[in-house]
A and B are shown apart, each in its own frame.
Chain A
Amino acid sequence: MATKNKTTNTLTVLVIDDDMERAESFRAALAGSPYVVKHLAHTSASLLREVENTEPDIILIDIESPNRDTIESLSTISEFNPKPIVMFSEKDQPDLMRDSIKAGVSAYVSGETNPDRAKFILDVAVARFNEFQGLKAELTDAKRKLQSRKWVDQAKALLIEKQGMSEQQAYSAIRKMAMDNGQKMEDVAKNLISMMQLIGGGK
């Protein structure tokens, strides 16, 4: 496993990530570069075998993955000996380590890999992971807002139908209840819906 018959320009980067989209986005960012990106959605027990078969120069793994500990064992109980990328960066790049941890990506590098190239890969990964975190947060936020509006609309419709209110009256009633109880309108709406479903509503 120690010697590799690869041209010096090609490096294999193994991405271990359950998030297919994020892995794909990372791969796309390196398209046309001399880096070969392989993706593995992880399973615990077969992970070691698959990593050993791939013989990656660099491993990128989601920092929330429990399988990081399995990857770490490679350096103590296997011939294949990838080191955490932070080994390189402890002197000259403490910020890179912090940035990568914050972005949610951890990296391991095999001993023969040039640190500058490893740094380049990690920089790309940090950028992609950050971008993805941003996108995810935006998406969650948008979904939540949409969902919250749905609840309020549904509660309004019920008040209009069962209590004969106008749309404006229904909206004001929900808002007043929310303010009086210090609750979110969404929560008031949810309570109203389950309550009216329970008692069947009716004038």
Chain B
Amino acid sequence: MSSQTHLEQTQLDIGIVALTDCAPLVMAKHLGYFEQWGLDVSLHVQYSWATVRDRLNAGLLDAAQVLAPMPIASSLGLNGPKCDVINAFNLSMNGNGVTLSTALMDKVRELNNGITPPLPLEAKWLKRVIDQSGEVLKIASVYPYSCHFYQLRDWLISGDITPNKDVELIIIPPTSMTTALQNNDIDGFCVGTPWNAQAVRGGIGETVTTSSDIWQEAPEKVLAVTKEWQETNPNTYLALLAAVQQACEWLESVANRFETAIILQQYLDAPVDVIAPSLIGSCITAKGAPPRDIPGYNQFFRSNTNQPIVEQGMFLIEKMKGAGQLGDWTDTQLNEVVNNVYRNDLYESMLALRNS
């Protein structure tokens, strides 16, 4: 099973963030897959994407779970010094949800004879609330270069809402979302699992739509390393990918998902009843209401989840443009950067190594 080739480095420090989609890295460690591939991995929970980026770029982390747009943002030098970061492995697809405060949903119900409109909620309901009350809603997401941010924008725009005019978009860390909602600092948020479920269990919000409803099959977190690190440690890198690939395959079974929920508790500092639902494809929506069936809510393997594809990067580029985040780049330049980030060749090398 283990690689015959020489590993340049065996002790690795990998950054993870307290979200359900750190599961492939956590389980690769717990199941001993890293060990099987000759790697001694320490996982380090990070508290902000900014810090993940800084530590990865400065070489204080060897690899990290990052938001899919982050390697592109780093390679373009947005919000920090330019650093070539590559992605040869998607850790997960989907996983985000939009949760609105109960007070806001009560206003929506007032416009619909006291009944919750069908879910996924169409954003036009928010538009009606905005038009009627004249107030500017405040909705949070987690990072400027995140799928959450773009999905939230797309959802609002689909309801004829103009972001930053009808709705103020702000950035709040995932673990503070529920508190902010409870304190009426915000009217809603778009965040990754399990933090929507936490708000619903706490009875302070209702999850009205998910990333699976807004986009289909979108890579959410990726395993990032700097180009420099990969070039210095080519064999170690493939061994790392192989171990994580094995964990993603293991995560395919529902029985294994339960075990994952139990193990994730210590990393996420959240109870099983908050972590487990999304892992088994259930989106809990509101206290006392039936959950929604979202089979790919946390997708780690099926439908070719892990393969990094250049088109996925170009899709994100379009979203970044739409959000006004890209300045004077020519399409040729952007195309070149995305082609340098998405390393399907290395993904294929890992598959070849596993089959050898």
Contact = CB atoms under 8 A, between A and B. Distances in A.
Interface of A: 44-46, 48, 63-73, 75-77, 84, 86-87, 89-90, 97-98, 101-102, 106
Contact of A69 (B48, B60, B185): B48
Contacts of A106: 50-51, 54
B179 interface: yes
Nearest to B164: A77
Contacts of B58: 97-98, 101
A100 to B, nearest CB: 9
A101 B79 contact: no
A68 B164 contact: no
Nearest to B54: A101
A44 B172 contact: yes
B170 interface: yes
A46 B185 contact: yes
B50 A45 contact: no
B120 interface: no
Interface in B41-87: 47-51, 54-55, 58-60, 79-82
A130 B169 CA distance: 36
Given A72-B143, A102-B60, A67 B82 contact: no
A61 B325 CA distance: 24
A89 B57 CA distance: 13
A87 B80 contact: yes
B66 to A, nearest CB: 13
B203 interface: no
A71 B80 CA distance: 13
Contact of A65 (B47, B80, B180, B185): B47
Interface centre among A63, A69, A76 (most CB of B within 10 A): A69
A72 B60 contact: no
Name the prevailing secondary structure of the B interface residues: loop
Interface size class of B (residues with CB under 8 A): 20 to 34
Given A66-B47, A98-B60, A101-B54, 8 more contacts: A46-B185, A66-B48, A68-B51, A72-B49, A77-B144, A84-B50, A84-B79, A86-B80
Nearest to A98: B58
Contacts of A87: 80-81
- Top 8 A-B residue pairs of the complex, sorted by shortest distance between their CB atoms: A45-B185, A66-B173, A73-B171, A90-B81, A44-B176, A68-B48, A68-B50, A76-B144
B240 interface: no
Contact of A77 (B54, B142, B170, B180): B170
B189 to A, nearest CB: 11
Contacts of B164: 77
Contacts of B50: 68-69, 71-72, 84, 106
Contact of B180 (A45, A76, A86, A90): A45
Given A46-B185, A77-B170, A101-B55, A66 B80 contact: no
A127 B356 CA distance: 51
B332 interface: no
Contacts of B175: 66
Interface centre among B49, B144, B174, B175 (most CB of A within 10 A): B144
13 contacts: A45-B170, A66-B176, A67-B173, A69-B48, A69-B50, A72-B144, A73-B144, A77-B170, A84-B54, A87-B81, A90-B81, A102-B60, A106-B50
A69 B55 contact: no
B54 A63 contact: yes
A48 B185 CA distance: 12
A65 B48 CA distance: 7
Contacts of B173: 44, 66-67, 69-70
A118 to B, nearest CB: 15
Contact of B47 (A48, A64, A86): A64
B132 interface: no
Nearest to B323: A76
Interface in B135-184: 142-144, 164, 169-176, 179-180, 183
A98 B57 CA distance: 10
Contacts of B142: 69
A72 B172 contact: no
A191 B223 CA distance: 43
A84 B80 contact: yes
B329 to A, nearest CB: 16
A46 B184 CA distance: 11
Contacts of B179: 44
